[in-house]
Amino acid sequence: MITSYNLCGSCNQLLPPQSHYPIPDLPESAQTFYQFNQNLEFFPKTKLIIAECKFCGLVQLCATPVKYYREVIRAGIYSENIKLFRLNQFASIKSEYLARAESTALEIGAGRGEYALLISQIFNTVVCTEYSSDAVQECRNAGLTAFQTHPELTSFHQDLEHRTFDFICCLNYLEHLPRPVATLKTILKAAHPDTIFLIEVPNSELIFRHGLLNEIIPDHLHYFTGNTLIKTLDAAGFQRFSVSKLRS
């Protein structure tokens, strides 16, 4: 039987059984693993099936997403180095691509507003979305304009009041979603012709280069490289983009 999880998340081609590689005895989710970290012999295990699409090359899990996949869960504390890196990153994008003083920004998958608060130091108007109601409330308590929604919901653009934005970012978000191309197409509708996007995903080249199967987790359905990210953006309708590595 062909299900959506037997189809490539980028090019929608069939992932045949001969492309499947089983990885047994893994935690059923990263958050479950954390909960059982003192009694690892009792943690719930699962067998993952990983496959490489022979058409576009994207490596991915043939699996249903974890139950909380729409929620962004980040470490509560980040270092000063990360904070400075993000501030410089957002400021550089604004100064290089968005000359006008008044500019709007949207973060999709904002968690508890960790990065949206930094974006608000650079951009005049910042909106963020998050699926977790508790996280949305934390964003609002911090003074952010936050909407409880998700790009997979048909109400997504209505929830955003059909607004468009000068800058849209998704940080370490796309790899969690079962249909990344469909998600990107939805996000594009919140853009105008001159919108600048920042889409960041983990670089999986190190995993493949060194065979680091311990880096394969159920929470990440897709394992992008520079080449497969380009193909995914192209399939979603992005017309002008560049890909760079933050780290190898």
- Domain assignment present for 246: no
- Domain assignment present for 238: no
The reply to whether 46 and 101 lie within a common domain is: no
The reply to whether 12 and 89 lie within a common domain is: no
Cβ proximity of 108 and 187 under 8 Å: yes
pTM of the model: 0.91
72: three-class secondary structure by DSSP: coil
The dihedrals phi and psi of 168, each to the nearest 5 degrees, come to: -130, 130
- Domain assignment present for 108: yes
Q: How many domains does the chain have?
A: 2
Confidence of residue 137 (pLDDT cuts 50, 70, 90): very high
Cβ proximity of 101 and 124 under 8 Å: yes
Cβ proximity of 107 and 171 under 8 Å: yes
The residue from 13, 30, 65 where one domain ends is 65
- Tens of pLDDT, residue by residue over 195-213, are 999 999 999 998 899 888 8
- Percent over 70 (pLDDT), the chain: 91
- Domain assignment present for 35: yes
Cα 134 from Cα 142, distance rounded (Å): 13
- Tens of pLDDT, residue by residue over 71-97, are 999 865 678 999 999 999 999 999 999
Give 147's strand partners: 129
Nearest to 222 by CA among 55, 75, 108, 51: 51
Cα 136 from Cα 187, distance rounded (Å): 19
The reply to whether 57 and 144 lie within a common domain is: no
The reply to whether 92 and 190 lie within a common domain is: yes
The residue from 179, 200, 221 where one domain ends is 200
The reply to whether 114 and 184 lie within a common domain is: yes
Q: Is the pLDDT of residue 2 over 80?
A: no
The predicted structure's pLDDT at residue 122: 96
Confidence of residue 101 (pLDDT cuts 50, 70, 90): confident
The reply to whether 128 and 24 lie within a common domain is: no
Q: Read off the tokens for 165.
A: 């934005």
Q: Read off the tokens for 44.
A: 């719930």
Q: Is the pLDDT of residue 46 over 90?
A: no
In which order are the strands placed within the sheet that holds 145-148?
145-148, 125-130, 104-108, 165-171, 191-200
The reply to whether 94 and 128 lie within a common domain is: yes
Residue 139: which CATH number? 3.40.50.150
The reply to whether 121 and 188 lie within a common domain is: yes
The predicted structure's pLDDT at residue 239: 87
The reply to whether 186 and 137 lie within a common domain is: yes
The reply to whether 138 and 183 lie within a common domain is: yes
- Domain assignment present for 15: yes
Handedness of CA 67, 201, 209, 85 (dihedral sign): negative
The predicted structure's pLDDT at residue 37: 56
Comparing 180 with 41, the larger pLDDT belongs to 180
Q: Is the pLDDT of residue 63 over 60?
A: yes
The predicted structure's pLDDT at residue 33: 55
- Domain assignment present for 107: yes
The residue from 42, 65, 88 where one domain ends is 65
Cα distances from 230 to residues 13, 119, 136, in angstroms, run 17, 25, 31
The reply to whether 25 and 88 lie within a common domain is: no
Cβ proximity of 197 and 238 under 8 Å: yes
Domain interval for residue 127: 80-200
The one-character DSSP state at 59 is E
- Domain assignment present for 180: yes
Q: Is the pLDDT of residue 1 over 80?
A: no
Contacting residues for 107 by C-beta, under 8 A, at least 6 apart: 115, 116, 119, 126, 127, 128, 129, 168, 169, 170, 171
The predicted structure's pLDDT at residue 238: 95
Confidence of residue 36 (pLDDT cuts 50, 70, 90): low
The reply to whether 108 and 155 lie within a common domain is: yes
| Lowest mean pLDDT across 73-87, 102-116, 188-202, 207-221 | 73-87
- Domain assignment present for 239: no
The predicted structure's pLDDT at residue 77: 63
Confidence of residue 32 (pLDDT cuts 50, 70, 90): low
Cα 220 from Cα 74, distance rounded (Å): 14
